Structure 1
Amino acid sequence: MSLHLWRAALSAWHQSGSKLAAAPVLWSHAALEPSGRGTARLLSSTSKQHDLAAPVLISGAGPSGLTLALLLSRYGVPSLVFEQSKALTSHPQAHYINNRTMEVFRMLDGPQQVNSSCESRSLAAEVASVMPPLDEWRKFIYCHSMAGEVLGEVDHFKGQSSPQAPAISPEPVAHLPQHRLLPMLLARTYAPSSLTRVLFNHAVQGVELCEGEGVVLRVRGAKGEHLSVEGKFLVAGDGAHSMIRRQLGIALEGQAGMQHLINIHFTSRTLGQVLLGCDSSSSIPQPSAAASRSRSSSSSSGHSQVFSSAAGGRPLAQVPSSSSGSLAAHRRASERAAMLYFVFNRSVVAVIVAHDLQRGEFVAQVPYFPPLQSPADFPVPVCAEIVRAASGLPPGPLHDLQILQVSEGITALGASMGACACISTGTQGVTSLCTPVRSTSPCNPRTRCHNQCVVVRPMFTLT
């Protein structure tokens, strides 16, 4: 999630005297030569009466779209945001917020409930106050299972006691999933001073370029009505499968379909507490004696090895025998909090993203291999077994496992390049790194382009 793109846009705005030049995709009539590559229509005038109008139209109410809308409002520029979904996503999606984004968030104030009173504080401060403490996400761990044998680990904050590095930025990096960040952004659009209007269940279905100035969107409304929306600029923040990009004939260049993933969104407070090294054994039902005999065998080291048929009979965890079947001692010894767990065993290869260990919220990313496999091979019961095999805990302690959502993800590497426009493809859960550059061609102020244009080139995109 790269939200520092507005900086170049506002720089271009100041230099050109235009109302706005913005990213991830910004273009006006002057910034895109109709070439027939797409299906966008060129209108002769903007005299038609339209249902809605705003200087800036934004397709997509994701982090980039909402942040841009709030920044525009701060500078006195009204905007309309169209989101085809009925509500904000409930999937964690992207979770790592970089320094520059947090610096941008400093400028986004909003009312917050603090000490029984309503106070205003920046979005950066709110994110920092609700994200997990650094010790819960500073490491990547490579392991046979999350609670089993550790193969190696990497501490990405060596020598740091906080996620802030003053020599780099006045703001820290942050670890907060997208489905918790978006409500904070949306709440700020409802402030009395906001010039932003967000319309859910409104799908952009077409784009028309106006000869002279501006664009017109064809939008399907919440009740199925067809709306005509006029604006001077259009920002396409509608993700990797952008309808606007396709309609404008802007090709996606690069390697698509590098990897196919099944994303399993699940919760288990028990697993989170085990990884934090907390002793909550009193709330975990102990396995029966018969079950213990069938799952355990003594080892010469004085430990019992917990086995699971799902892992091909391999030991998933080492439990001290002195605990008499209890996992308490194991929990105390397994303080292995991390942001990512790279799990490798006979039953599963997966990356587990720990979005919040205290809440016990995770996403397991499991590769699959078309045409031998398809998403249909991963129903909820199969996904539950995958999670159990990755956790390294016997079935009993994972009594609170809940599979919330199973979805497909595809890894792609590429960029969308077009005349004075470049798509920063949105993500579905991993990351998107982009850098803004100033366009030099074909934007020529002496010919037909009277606006500064910003091009966004994704360095790489994982969707």
Structure 2
Amino acid sequence: MPIRGGSLLRRRWNSLSLSSQPHRNRRAVVSIASQEHDKKGGADAGNNSIIHDAIIIGGGPTGLLLSNLLSNYNIHSHLLFDKRPVEELVKHPQAHFINVRSMEILKSEMPHVYDGILSDMPNVREWECFNFGGCVDMNMSTGGGKRLARVIHPVRHLLRVGQRGDAILVPDESDGNNNWEAEDVDASNQHTPYVSECRPAHLAQNKFVSLLLQEARRHDEMAMHDLDSGRKSRLRYGEEIIGISDHTSVSSQLSSSSSLQDFNSKHIQPSIITIHTSQGQTYHTRYLLAADGVHSSTRKHYGISMMGDHSIQNLINVHFRTNTSLSKYLMRRQNNQAMLHFVYNSQLVGVFVCHDGYKGEWVLQIPFFPPYQTMADFDANYVRELIWAGLGVHPQHGRNGTGQTRHPDDTFNVDILSIRPWTMTSLVASQYLNDSKNMVLVGDAAHAFPPAGGFGMNTGLQDAHNIAWRLAVMLHRDKLARKISTEEDDDNVSIINEIRDPSTFMSSSSSPSFDQTILSKYDEERKTVATQNAALSVRNYQRTLSLANACYLNAQHPHLLISILDSPPMNLLPLEVRQGMFKRLVRVAMLSLKSLTSVESSGALSIHANQIEHNVNAILENKGSLPLVFPRYELGFSYSSRDKYDVVGDKEELTDTAGYFPRLKAGHRMPHVLVDVMTSQSSDGDVQVSLTTISSYLRRVFRSPSPIFTLLVFGPRRTNTIILNKAVARVMQLWNVPIISIDVYPSKPIPHDENSIQITGTASKLNDLLSVVDANSALSRLLHAEFAAFVKAEESTNKMTDSMEGAHYVLMMIRPDGHIANVAYLRETYNSDIMLDQIQQALDHGLHNALGIKV
């Protein structure tokens, strides 16, 4: 069924949908602040009086995604600053794994970026494995290192319901067999539904940033073209924020076109933030979004502390590139192809990250122990020796360490691009907002994790997704209120007369503001997720230490040695002497690892190497390897304070790699259920949409500048259309947010059936959206499964079964970010007033869950 509420709601929605042309052709709809900007002669000419909707500090993945999302919501009056030039930003690979949930967000919100990732990333067979051995080249017979183990992760295919994320040990006999297939889907899962329409991706952060930057520039150019004023780009790379100040006496009812003079004449909250840049410019903003990294100066300015472990391990990151000959050699055998290579030998213990093997893009991570090791110890020559030792290839004419010639016609070479120290931490900000609730921390400014599991960048991307729609709701809300409150419709006069003045519900000096509450909800939701991801990342890192222990390398030994050297009487020795002692003892501890790169086939070294291999395999066989896929954490997290990671089904051990089971509960991500979209022009249902992304799909269909809440109406009978229309209209006007209600049919409705609501009047302007069809009954099965789980938990089967049988319809509200706001099971009654109240309460409850306030 279409947007409900008769001609009033259709006209109202048309007035709010500011664009009627496809996105690629339309002129961007510019916010009032930008229009005022234009009148005053461009961004720099009038920046002392214009208040921007938002300013983003930090132009990495999180900041750029946030900028793109705001542009999607037509929040064009925003700026992005980063002190680094673009050239520096796109140099270093850094993060590289994009998990399933992040890929879903990119596919629904930025299809150009999503397609670019799929096009640019290496083939999945090049990165689906982790290798463990004496060096990257796992072939001792030709001078390489001993293979200890190889595991494959379930990233080749779409995940299924209940499928675990455990890595699988690859048997030795698969060496060199390109057709070997891992049994990455249990037999019990092969006929279960998919949990997503996306797979994870492996793409170096600098390439990912380039795609996001290209999209941001496209938005920027479109906005500048529409302003036609020579306005400076909103992307300000190479311009540092050197000062931040707050104006504390400001009206909460200022629009984005208000000037500094306007709000200086007011005396109620919230404040406006002023920033000062290295180019001598001053800008004002309603909201400051800090995406400026783990060392965020913005966070420090507001005195927000980071909680957790500030120093888990120090490391050296070496970014290097192999030449064509060496790249082909290292990737010549499938056995050598992997995302991560854990290397253990007498010269190096470290991890090689293969970002793109055929293009020669690598990063080497080396443990680092200051002050007994310094950056001076890791000069280019020494690091180059470590690289060759870790690769298992001699640089001169393709010769290995024994003098044997592999490829006398080829010269291998590596180009060291950067050598950087960094500290692994596990930190979460004590709060994500300042006291005035107009500065927001996102990404690494809010949290920092060990890289194990790849949750750092992904958590930041999902932060941006969560805060973007909230900001858009707030920034469009005043405009929506003005539109709705001035609507008139002769056929709906009674509805308008029954609705209170929307201004009654705007913030005042005597009560918490709408804006502050909705941002506090962001703090509540995302900080909880970050805390859980931080703990998971630490556990993943500890798994890597257990593998080092299997190689007879105790990760605590260097720290114990440092403790001894720092204590009396050893601390009386000069630091230089103690540094020498430390380095010699570390070298001695690593001597036994020579067995993993020796060509000797017998003797004590061989026995030692075989024992290490046995130890490592014993751990991996017991699912102790570093996982890459975490279905329960990636897709199963909940924004409800009462839920964490529920599992529906048998009593499965809740390990970190447990499978994901869809839930139809408030706070959970709406499960991936493909539905056929039906229109009044066609009943073929040739458009399939995942319910996970239904709200973003509808926003694109209706070209809405504002985030959309979707109301799915499901059940054997349709509720009274007029009553539902009236309830939706009331709630829209009370909350000033768009709601679209859609009928869900179990099968294609018969044309002109009395239950099939036909669109009339301005239907063509709404793309004639009518209903969706749950053709495979997937949603219906989930609803019944949810009831069964609830019944079992409450131990009141008979009572709950009666309730289910008595439910005439289900109202399911989906938030703009794809999470469920509320699920209500209602009975139809002949008393229209009671029914109206039931529906309105269900909708109010959903918006309260999503926005954190009650109206």
Question: Which TM class, normalised by the smaller chain length?
Answer: 0.5 to 0.7
Corresponding residue of 2:423? 410
Q: Kindly state the Cα deviation for residue 163 of structure 1 after the two structures are TM-superposed.
A: 6.4
State the AA in 1 paired with 2:135. Answer: S
1:156 to 153, 158, 181: 153
Alpha-carbon contact 1:340-1:352 (below 8 Å) kept: yes
Give the deviation of 1:66 after TM superposition. 0.6
- Match of 1:97? 98
Matched, 1:183 2:202: no
Instruction: Work out whether residues 51 and 228 of structure 1, in 8 Å CA contact, stay in contact via their aligned partners in 2.
Output: no
Residues 218 and 226, structure 1, Cα contact 8 Å, conserved in 2: no
- In structure 1, the partner of 2:136 is 146
What is the 5 A alignment of 1:6-85? Answer: 50=48, 53-78=51-76, 79-85=78-84
Aligned equivalents of 2:432, 2:92: Cα separation in 1? 34
**Pair 1:425-2:444 in alignment:** yes
Q: Which has the larger radius of gyration?
A: 2
Deviations 1:25-84 (A, max 9, x none): xxxxxxxxxxxxxxxxxxxxxxx9627642010000011111111111111102100010
Partner in structure 1 of residue 412 of structure 2: 399
Give CA deviations for 1:350-384 in whole Å, capped at 9, x if unaligned.
Answer: 11000001101100000111110122211111110
Counterpart pick for 1:128 among 93, 108, 118: 118
Deviation at 1:193, TM superposition (A): 3.0
> In the aligned structure 1, how far is the partner of 2:124 from the partner of 2:416?
26
CA distance in 1, matches of 2:364, 2:158: 25
CA distance in 2, matches of 1:122, 1:377: 44
Q: 1:428 to 1:267 in 2, by over 3 A?
A: farther
Contact 1:137–1:339 (8 Å) recurs in 2: yes
Amino acid of the structure 2 residue aligned with 1:357 = G
TM-score between both structures, scaled by the size of structure 1? 0.68
Distance 1:349 1:214, change over 3 A: same
The verdict on how the C-alpha distance between 1:127 and 1:102 changes in structure 2, with shifts beyond 3 A counting, is same
Question: Contact 2:54/2:289 (CA < 8 Å) preserved in 1?
Answer: yes
- Given residue 86 of structure 1, which amino acid in structure 2 is its aligned partner? P
* Aligned counterparts of 2:319 and 2:102: Cα–Cα separation in 1: 25
Conserved 8 A contact 1:83-1:199: yes
Partner of 1:226, secondary structure, is coil
Query: Could you tell me which amino acid in structure 2 is paired with residue 260 of structure 1?
Result: N
User: 1:219, CA displacement in angstroms?
Assistant: 3.0
1:44 maps to what in 2? none
* Structure 1 residue identity aligned to 2:107: R
- Work out whether residues 215 and 234 of structure 1, in 8 Å CA contact, stay in contact via their aligned partners in 2: no
Query: Structure 1 residues 100 and 63, CA, compared in 2 at 3 Å: closer, same or farther?
Result: same
Q: 1:163 to 1:411 in 2, by over 3 A?
A: farther
Report the 3-state secondary structure (helix = DSSP H, G, I; strand = E; otherwise coil) of the residue aligned with 1:232: strand
- The answer as to whether partners of 1:139 and 1:153 remain within 8 angstroms in 2 is yes
Q: Once the two structures are superposed, what CA deviation does each residue of 1:1-27 show, in whole Å capped at 9, x if it has no partner?
A: xxxxxxxxxxxxxxxxxxxxxxxxxxx
What amino acid is the match of 1:247? H
CA RMSD of aligned residues (A): 3.0
Whichever residue aligns with residue 216 of structure 1, its letter is I
How far has the Cα of 1:270 moved from its partner? 3.4
Partner of 1:365: helix, strand, or coil?
strand
Asked if structure 2 preserves the Cα contact closer than 8 Å seen for 1:253 and 1:414, the reply is: yes
Match of 1:253, SS state, is strand
The separation in 1 between residues aligned to 2:136 and 2:239, in whole angstroms, is 42
Q: CA deviation at 1:227?
A: 1.5
Matches of 1:250 and 1:423 in 2, distance apart?
A: 13
Amino acid paired to 1:275? L
Q: Which amino acid aligns with 1:103?
A: E
Q: Is the 8 A contact 1:82 1:199 kept in 2?
A: yes
Q: CA deviation at 1:399?
A: 2.7
Aligned CA distance change for structure 1 residues 420 and 405 (closer, same or farther; 3 Å): closer
Distance 1:373 1:89 in 2: 29
Paired with 1:61 and 1:70, the residues of 2 have a C-alpha distance of: 11
| Partner amino acid, structure 1, of 2:351 | V
Map 1:316-331 → 2, pairs under 5 A: none
Q: 1:419 Cα shift? A: 6.9
1:232-271 alpha-carbon deviations (Å, 9 max, x no partner): 1111000000000001000011111111111010011334
Q: CA 1:343 to 1:207, structure 2 compared with 1: closer, same or farther past 3 Å?
A: same
CA contact (8 A) 1:216 1:228 kept: no
Q: Report SS of the residue matched to 1:367.
A: strand
**Which of residues 282, 292, 306 in structure 2 aligns to 1:228?**
282
Structure-2-length-normalised TM-score: 0.38
Q: What's the secondary structure of 2:444's corresponding residue?
A: coil
Does residue 259 in structure 1 map to residue 313 in structure 2? yes
Distance 1:52 1:104 in 2: 32
Q: Structure 1 residues 51, 354: CA separation in 2 closer, same or farther (over 3 Å shift)?
A: farther
What residue is the counterpart of 1:210 in the other structure? Answer: 247
User: Which has a greater percent of helix?
Assistant: 2
1:55 counterpart SS class: strand
Is the 1:251–1:417 Cα contact (8 Å) retained in structure 2?
yes
Q: Percent identity, aligned pairs only?
A: 27
Q: Say whether the 8 Å CA contact 1:214–1:233 is kept in structure 2.
A: no
1:447 maps to which residue? 511
Contact 2:321/2:414 (8 A) holds in 1: yes
Q: Hey, what's the Cα distance between the residues in 1 that align with 2:512 and 2:287?
A: 16
State whether residues 342 and 350 of structure 1, in contact with CA within 8 Å, keep that contact through their aligned partners in structure 2. yes
AA matched with 2:416? I
Map 1:229-378 → 2, pairs under 5 A:
229-268=283-322, 269-277=324-332, 335-378=335-378
Q: Does 1:219 align with 2:273?
A: no
Structure 1 distance, partners of 2:349, 2:331, is 22
**C-alpha contact 1:64 1:237 (8 A) present in aligned 2:** yes
Check the 8 A contact 1:253/1:417 in 2, yes or no. yes
Greater CA drift, 265-274 or 418-427: 418-427
Contact 1:416 1:424 in 2 (8 A): no
Q: Equivalent residue for 2:237?
A: 200
Structure 1 249/388 Cα, relative in aligned 2: closer, same or farther at 3 Å?
A: same
Contact residue 138 and residue 339 of structure 1 kept, 8 A: yes
Aligned to 1:380: 380
Equivalent-residue separation in structure 2 for 1:202 and 1:164 (angstroms)? 43
> Larger relative contact order (C-alpha < 8 A, sep ≥ 6)?
1
Match of 2:199 in 1: 172
Q: 1:50 to 1:164 in 2, by over 3 A?
A: farther
Aligned partners of 2:321 and 2:417 also within 8 Å = yes
Q: Over residues 107-128 of structure 1, what are the superposed CA-to-partner deviations in whole Å (9 max), with x where a residue is unaligned?
A: 455xxxxxxxxxxx62111110
CA distance, structure 2, for counterparts of residue 394 and residue 182 of structure 1: 34
Q: 1:216 to 1:228 in 2, by over 3 A?
A: farther
- Number of equivalent positions: 342
Give the Cα–Cα distance (whole angstroms) in 2 for the partners of residues 77 and 138 of structure 1.
39
Q: Quick check: 1:206–1:244 contact (8 Å CA) kept in 2?
A: no
Question: Are the counterparts in 2 of residues 215 and 230 from structure 1 also a CA contact under 8 Å?
Answer: yes
Look up the match of 1:15.
Answer: none
Taking a change above 3 Å as real, the CA distance of residues 254 and 423 of structure 1, as seen in their structure-2 partners, is farther
In structure 1, the gaps of 5 or more residues are: 1-47, 110-120, 278-331
Contact 1:94/1:429 (8 A) holds in 2:
no
